[in-house]
Amino acid sequence: MYTQAIDLPEPPGPLEAGSGPRSAQAAGAGSEAAEQERQQAFDAAIAADEKIEPQDWMPEAYRRTLVRQISQHAHSEVVGMLPEGNWITRAPSLRRKAILLAKVQDEGGHGLYLYSAAETLGVSRDEMIEALLSGKAKYSSIFNYPTLSWADMGCIGWLVDGAAIMNQIPLCRCSYGPYARAMIRICKEESFHQRQGYELMLALCRGTPAQKAMAQEALDRWWWPVVMMFGPSDAESVHSAQTMKWGIKRISNDDLRQKFVDATVPQAELLGLRIPDPDLKWNEERGHYDFGQIDWNELWRVINGDGPCNRERLETRRRAHENGAWVREAALAHARKRAARQRAA
């Protein structure tokens, strides 16, 4: 079994280190009783809120769902560099340019943390890249929308990263160790992303009427796609029930969405911006904001490849991968030449 190239000692006897119900190594003959014991040990670990680590035995379905979720999370980070990368050359000031560069750099780094976490589950980087470039793997629907004005940079930081943070903080407590640790790192870096976005919106809203109008126009375009980021409602969400049982998902889609709306409405009011939802209203009884119906057709269209930028995003990633092949080959050739020279010396 692929174990990220980490060597384990020789298979042990029953009383030695390496045996015991949670060891992947002990998964030898796979008798029914042994299988049940491993499943029980796994279930007990999940119930006790313990972490599952790469070499622990885990149900095949748990492994598969994590590979899917973590790799798609990684793809989202890397594809997410594109809509913001679009404005680096046109940032209105050096300060804004440096900030945007730093943010996009961070997203690349986040992709790395997540690909690394996924690789501990026995999938290779090549397999994951192939799945993305062939269109088999998904990434967050929000990155299939275009960035049409500078104010979009503010909206993305404030709302898209804001929604991501809301989703990612509970993931820091996810049952799979490498994913949880990657999320902790990501969350630390993510908070500047949201603050710079909100600061940008503040500058526009306190600026000229044209700047404030640009900010409002951007919010009009981004609000609903951001609300859709939290995914289908709980009843329609295929994976939610199982991932919650496994301690991967901690809070439901609808609950996260509600938290996000409740937190964001006052932020918009402070900016003096109007959220484009005529049904948005504080509900005193519930203690939450009521909001309007989501157009689920749009979400499924975009997820299934028919959003404004899906084809462009994938084309860009394919070209980048192909155009970078000579760099990857050259680095390897150079490393081998140098190693040969050192051996000969």
Partner 1 sequence: MSDPTKEWPLWEVYIRSKQGLEHKHCGSLHASDAQQALRMARDVYTRRLEGVSIWVVPSAAITASAPGSKDSYFEPAADKIYRHPTFYVLPDEVGHM
Per-residue binding string, partner 1, 125-154, x by CB under 8 A, is xx--x-------------------------
Three-state SS annotation for 230-255: CCCCHHHCCCHHHHHHCCCCCCCHHH
Binding test (CB under 8 A) with partner 1, winner from 1, 9, 47, 49: 9
Judged by CB, which is closer to partner 1: 96, or 103?
103
* Cα 66 to Cα 54: distance, rounded to the nearest angstrom: 12
Question: Sign (positive/negative) of CA torsion 247, 249, 251, 252?
Answer: negative
Answer yes or no whether residue 90 interacts with partner 1 by CB under 8 A: no
Q: Say how far apart CA 230 and CA 234 lie, in whole Å.
A: 10
> Applying CB under 8 A, which part among 28-36, 85-93, 103-111, 295-303 lies near partner 1?
103-111
Q: List C-alpha distances in Å: 136 to 78, 219, 243.
A: 16, 31, 21
- Only one residue has tokens 């594109």, namely 82
Q: Distance between CA 133 and CA 107 in Å, rounded?
A: 19
Residue 305: both structure tokens together: 């490849």
Nearest distance in Å: CB 139, partner 1:
19
Which residues within the stretch 199-218 sit at the binding site for partner 1 (CB under 8 A)? none
Which position among 42, 46, 56, 179 is part of the footprint of partner 1 (CB under 8 A)? 56
- Give the one residue of 90, 206, 319, 328 binding partner 1; rule: CB under 8 A: 328
Spatial separation of the C-alpha atoms in residues 262 and 281, rounded to whole Å: 10
End-to-end CA distance of the chain: 38
- Identify which range of 29-37, 124-132, 243-251, 270-278 contacts partner 1 by CB under 8 A: 124-132
Residue from 297, 317, 284, 165 nearest 224 by CA: 297
Q: 138, exposed or middle or buried, with CB in 10 Å at 0-12, 13-18, 19+?
A: middle
Q: Which is nearer to partner 1, 105 or 283 (CB)?
A: 105
The smaller minimum CB distance to partner 1, of residues 15 and 345, is found at 15
- 23 touches partner 1 by CB under 8 A: yes
For the bound state, the minimum distance from the C-beta of residue 285 to partner 1, rounded and expressed in Å, comes to: 45
CB count within 10 Å of CB 254 equals 16
Interacting positions 226-285 with partner 1 (CB under 8 A): none
Least Å from the CB of residue 4 to partner 1: 6
Given candidates 270, 319, 334, 340, which one binds partner 1 under the rule CB under 8 A? 334
**Residue nearer to partner 1 on the CB measure, 128 or 215:** 128
Minimum distance from residue 18 beta carbon to partner 1 (Å): 3
Stretches 112-120, 139-147, 251-259, 263-271: which one binds partner 1 (CB under 8 A)? 112-120
Chain center to CA of 216: 27
Selection from 315, 282, 154 nearest residue 221 by Cα:
154
Enumerate binding residues for partner 1 (CB under 8 A).
Answer: 4-9, 12, 15-26, 53, 55-57, 102, 105-106, 109, 112-113, 116, 119, 124-126, 129, 182, 185, 189, 325, 328-329, 331-332, 334-335, 338-339
